[in-house]
Amino acid sequence: MTPAATSRQVGGHHTAPIFAALGDETRLALMLRLGSGGPHSIAQLAAESPLTRQAITKHLEVLGAAGLVRSDRRGRERIWNVQPDRLDEARQFLAEVSRQWDAALGRLKHFVEE
Amino acid sequence: MTTDRIEKSVVLKASRSQVWRALTSADQFGAWFGAKMNGPFVAGMRATGRITIPDYDHLNLELLIDRIEPESLFSYRWHPYAVEADVDYSSEPMTLVEFHLADDPGGIKLTVIESGFDQIPIARRATAYRMNDGGWAGQMQNIARYVTGLPQ
């Protein structure tokens, strides 16, 4: 990482608990569906799911609050779409922390074994 | 692996007391971690220091020492990835870092667990990445593996 690459706000969602939003099987399934199938309306998602429209809406709003999905109004419907940057940031953040631990443990190993 | 924790293990060819000192002596911890600590580690107390890793040596390091259970468990809380000197992280939740020591045929198995990421606001400090070439299908598979703990 470089200092220049450490900071960016996306859509003002800088305090959203993004990992908590993803840590739910139902929401993950919704993300997978939107991610692989493209934009969907609530009605389309409900037709392919045992969940009610209300339940799906609630989960999408949690994902939306974390900046992971966005809805656009199309006529009388809201069409939901994934926001790729946010999801990738979440993944890359943990990957970066993980990488730093690898490096630190490498230094520790060298330190105690030398 | 969940989105809430990172777990790493390494087998160290050293004695248990050597590993323990490397973790809990503030000077020795600083030597491998890359920091100059200002004082000893005491359970329940704050330990401060300065990062010594090149490019990061303008940063302070602050650990809230949690548990010191001799030659078995050392833990602290901190603000992970707090790499922006002008940002006040004090109002953000902290993660918990635990070092567990266990006997191993090859020496001492050290396991590091960092947990509590679920509540960390990440966007401000997260590195900005664009979509990679794998496209959404590949990306979502990665995420699915990532959050369900299946091998990558």
Question: Could you give the 3-state DSSP secondary structure of residue B134?
Answer: coil
pLDDT in tens, chain A (114 residues): 333 333 333 333 343 467 777 777 788 888 888 877 788 999 999 998 899 999 999 999 988 888 889 999 988 889 999 887 777 777 777 787 888 899 899 999 999 998
Strand order in the sheet with B95-104: B5-12, B107-115, B95-104, B73-78, B60-69, B46-51, B35-37
The radius of gyration computed from the CA coordinates of chain A, to the nearest angstrom, equals: 18
Please report which confidence band the pLDDT of residue B83 belongs to, taking 50, 70 and 90 as the band edges: low
Residues of A in contact with B126 (CB under 8 A): 8, 89-90, 92-93
Average pLDDT over all residues of chain B: 78
Q: Is the pLDDT of residue B125 over 60?
A: no
Model pLDDT, residue A12: 32
Residues of A in contact with B33 (CB under 8 A): 104, 107-108
Please report which confidence band the pLDDT of residue B54 belongs to, taking 50, 70 and 90 as the band edges: confident
Model pLDDT, residue B25: 95
Query: Which of B144, B152, B114, B90 lies closest to A36 in space, CA to CA?
Result: B144
- For residue B115, what are its two tokens? 């947990």
Model pLDDT, residue B68: 98
Q: Tell me, what's the ipTM?
A: 0.72
pLDDT tens digits for B7-49? 888 999 999 999 999 999 999 999 998 899 999 999 999 999 9
> Are B92 and B120 in contact, with CB atoms under 8 Å apart?
yes
Q: Which of B20, B99, B130, B140 to mutate to test the interface with A (most CBs of A within 10 A)?
A: B140
Model pLDDT, residue A1: 34
Counting every residue written for chain B, the total comes to 152
pLDDT tens digits for A5-35? 333 333 333 434 677 777 777 888 888 888 7
Model pLDDT, residue A93: 75
Please report which confidence band the pLDDT of residue B66 belongs to, taking 50, 70 and 90 as the band edges: very high
Of B91 and A6, more confident: B91
Model pLDDT, residue B56: 78
Q: How many cross-chain Cβ pairs, A to B, lie less than 8 Å apart?
A: 157
Residue of A nearest to B99 (CA): A105
Of A43 and B92, more confident: A43
Estimate to the nearest angstrom the gap between the alpha carbon of B94 and the chain centroid. Answer: 11
Residues of B in contact with A98 (CB under 8 A): 6, 8
Residues of A in contact with B58 (CB under 8 A): none
